[in-house]
Each structure stands twice: as C-alpha cells, then as structure tokens.
Amino acid sequence: MASPEPSPRRYGVGYALAPKKQQSFIQPSLVSLAASRGIDLVPIDPFLPLSSQGPFDVIIHKLSSPDWKSQLQEFAVENPNTPVIDLPDAIERLRNRISMLQAVSDLRIPQKDETFGTPKQIVIYDSDSLSDPASIETLKFPVIAKPLVADGSAKSHKMSLVFHPEGLLLLKPPIVLQEFVNHGGVIFKVYVVGDFVKCVKRKSLPDVSEEILEHSEGSVSFSQVSNLGGAQDQDFETTHLEDAEMPPLDFITDIARGLRKALELHLFNFDVIRDAKIGNHYLVIDINYFPGYAKMPDYEKVLTDFFWTLVHERRAVDADEKKKIASINHGAVEGEKVNVG
C-alpha cells in the first residue's frame, strides 16, 4: 500500500496591529487569497510573550510601545532567520517629519528629464519663535503647518494651511512649517511593498493664487493633505483629477527603491506633488509607514506575493543552514575516522 503524500507545508505570518489597522488591513479577501497559497495570517497578542505564540515564519507589525519593541528585539535575537517587517529602529525615523525627508535629500539618483527634491521647511520648537520674524524669514507664504511627530495618531494628521505670519500665532509647537507649492490640486501616492511599486493619484489642496493669498486671513485646518477638510469654503481654484498626467513610472520606481534602501523598510508609501511652475520637478512631502494598503488596487495579490517571497526566502535560508550543519557534522565524522586510523 502506497504511503500517503505528505501535506504541503503551511507558513504562518504573524501580525500585530492596532484594532483599527487590523480591521482595515486584514480583510477576508486577503486572508482567503493568502490561505490558498499556503500562508496563514495569524493574529499576535502583543500583551503575551512572543515565545508563547506562533511559530511564525514572518512577523509584520505596526505597534510602537516600549514593551512591544523590547519583545521584537528579543525575538529577533532568538530567531535571526525569521523576518521582522520592519525593525523598530528603522520605523522610528518616519516618526519625525524632518528626519523622514532627510532621507530624500540624501538620495543620489541620476536625474535627467525629471528632477525631485523636498519643499523648503523649518522646525519651530517653541511659541515665542512663531512671533519672531527672524525665525520664519527663510519661508515664503503660504505654508503648511504639520506636527513634528508623525506617529499615526489623529493629532499627528492635524495640519493647517497658513496664509500669513499672524496665522501662526494659534499653532502649538513643536511643528514643521513647509512651504506650500502649487501642484494642480493633485497628489501622487506611491505605495511600496518590498520590490513592488504602485503610484496612484488623489485629490489634494487646490492651488493658491496671488489674489486668493492677498484676500485670505489666518489659516485653514485640514486633517490630511489629500482631504480638503475645512478648506472647501475658500474660493480655491479647481482641477480635474482625471486629466492629471502621472509621473513616469521608472522615475518614481527609482525614488522608491532608493528610499527603501536608505530607510531599510519594506512597507511604506510616500506622497509626491508636481511643481506647477516647473512641470518636470517633483517634491516628496511626506513618508508613511505601513499605510492604508486596502485603498491600493489589487492589494490582496500584492501583499500575498510579498508574503510568499518572504517565507520562501526564509525556507532557502533554513535549507542552507541545514546543509552547513550537515557538512560540519560530516567533517567531524571523517576526522574521527582519520584519528582512529
């Protein structure tokens, strides 16, 4: 009687996400597709030791508490061949809006027909500096005021479009003041999942003409750059999103891969705008860790492909380790034979 075929091995991808993030990301469609390829998405309880859960072939997460960070570091030491996506120290760089964009400034990518950079910006650490003209003299208004800390909280997304210096006085430092650049009311969101890069276009703040700037006072609040928020009552210029030309994919991909290497991250997106005055110049204005991938077309396939690559890369590493151990053991046996002889 023939022995039954061994069942194919299944792989566990553990996920540790806040409830809201888990609800948006772990969709039944993703769970089902991953399962069909032998990958089980397994929830991790961050309040229990990782050693008592699993086993895991990969861990993905978007938590930032000190206890969780300590758990991950201990797990990485005990399981050096198990990918942790991504390491806390690398993610930390994106929690500061100055350090995140410094990575863009440091990129050394050939720039030909298209060029890129970041908007001019400064950090304000105290309220007194907001009323000091010398502190902001390098900036041209209007400016975008953003919290310095970008931790994914609702507070970190509260931003303002400030038309004149007096509009700064009600803001609460520490904040980043970033020059607003007219960009046709369109923002390009670039999603990165390992080697995969996808660029989509979204509605953004409309351009601000000199006339609007002259007749506007104070500031306008909005929750995200791609959400008009409180600005809808302003007499802004409008644009047609469908008519906006996408940036060249190879150009965007070069930036994405450069940032992936510089940031040492696998899961992130970055926001890009096209300078309305210089049609081939693009500005990276924000970078986010583990963004809302469910908004990306075919996200289930993209993420499942990513998981599949990770678990099979780990399988290859494990196979190499077994070969090395077998080789060492074989060498030891041969040595004993020689000594006996």
What are the binding residues for ATP?
97, 146, 178-189, 204
Angstrom distances, CA of residue 299 to CA of 8, 77, 286, 292:
25, 31, 21, 10
Measured from the Cβ of residue 327, the count of other Cβ atoms closer than 10 Å reads 10
- The span from the CA of 14 to the CA of 11, in Å, is 10
174-212 as b/e: b if 16+ CB within 10 A: ebbbbbbbbbbbbbbbbbbbbebbbbebbbbbbbbeeeb
| HSE-up of residue 243 (Cα within 13 Å, Cβ side) | 5
- The span from the CA of 329 to the CA of 147, in Å, is 58
Token readout for 11 is 């792989």
Contact 214, 291 (CB under 8 A): no
DSSP string, 303-327: HHHHHHHHHHHHHHHHHHHHHHHHH
- The span from the CA of 40 to the CA of 32, in Å, is 9
H or E element that contains 331: helix 299-340
CA-wise closest residue to 286 among 212, 326, 226, 203: 226
Annotated binding site for Mg(2+): 271, 286, 288
120-146 as b/e: b if 16+ CB within 10 A: ebbebeeeebbeeeebbeebebbbbbb
Annotated binding site for 1D-myo-inositol 1,3,4-trisphosphate: 21, 62, 157, 189, 288, 292
Annotated binding site: 21, 62, 97, 146, 157, 178-189, 204, 271, 286, 288, 292
- The span from the CA of 246 to the CA of 200, in Å, is 8
